[in-house]
Amino acid sequence: MNIHDLPNTLMYLVTNYPVLVYIVLILTSFVEGPILALLCGIFYRLGLVHILPIYLALMAGDLIGDCFWYWIGYRFGHRFIQRFGRFVSIRERNVNDVEKIFHTHKDTILIVSKLTMGLGFALVTLVTAGLVKIPFKRYLTLNVFGQFIWTGFLLSLGYIFGNLYVSFNNIFARISIGAFFIVLIFIIFGFGKYVRTRFIK
């Protein structure tokens, strides 16, 4: 299959195997939700997917991930951090810093973390929320609220890029738009990596 067949293939899969497509989407967004949301915004503009099920699937995948990391913090706490934290860029001192903030600004830090991808501290925030025993109902409510806004923003951004793409017939212009889209992704995630390497030792 070449790249020109991709739209037809996606349309075929969504039309004939919608449940399978959305299950795969949920599982994939659990691992890498932001990039997938941007791509889905483009696919929506191209008429390949429907907005509501895509929106719900992306939110579900990210929220499953949030619940998983909350459970890790709640169930294993500092033991997990001491044994495995270095593999997921979580350090004990960063957890201690976030833990102090949670005592006075737990609602704010959860929402801000979601709306900024954690500025490189997303996992620290989610694990610490479980560690300090934030009530799960409160935790989930705040994350659903933040996730709704965050997913909508990413889908909208992808839609804008998709709209720019279909607005130009010139192949050079389309390649330029695609290149800028890729650069934007690298900038976003590069910033998160910079924050982690700058503040997580």
Query: Which pTM was predicted?
Result: 0.73
In whole angstroms, give the CA distance from residue 105 to residue 94. 16
Q: What is the mean pLDDT of each run of 10 residues along the chain (201 residues)?
A: 55 72 81 80 84 90 88 86 76 75 74 65 79 87 88 88 73 64 65 50 47
Please tell me the predicted confidence (pLDDT) of residue 193: 55
pLDDT at 55: 92
For the chain, first and last CA: distance in Å? 45
- Domain boundaries defined on the chain: 3-199
Residue 3: what pLDDT? 44
> Which residue do the tokens 């939110």 mark?
59
Is residue 154 within 8 Å of 118, Cβ to Cβ? no
How far is it, in rounded angstroms, from Cα 168 to Cα 161? 11
Q: For position 71, what pLDDT does the model report?
A: 92
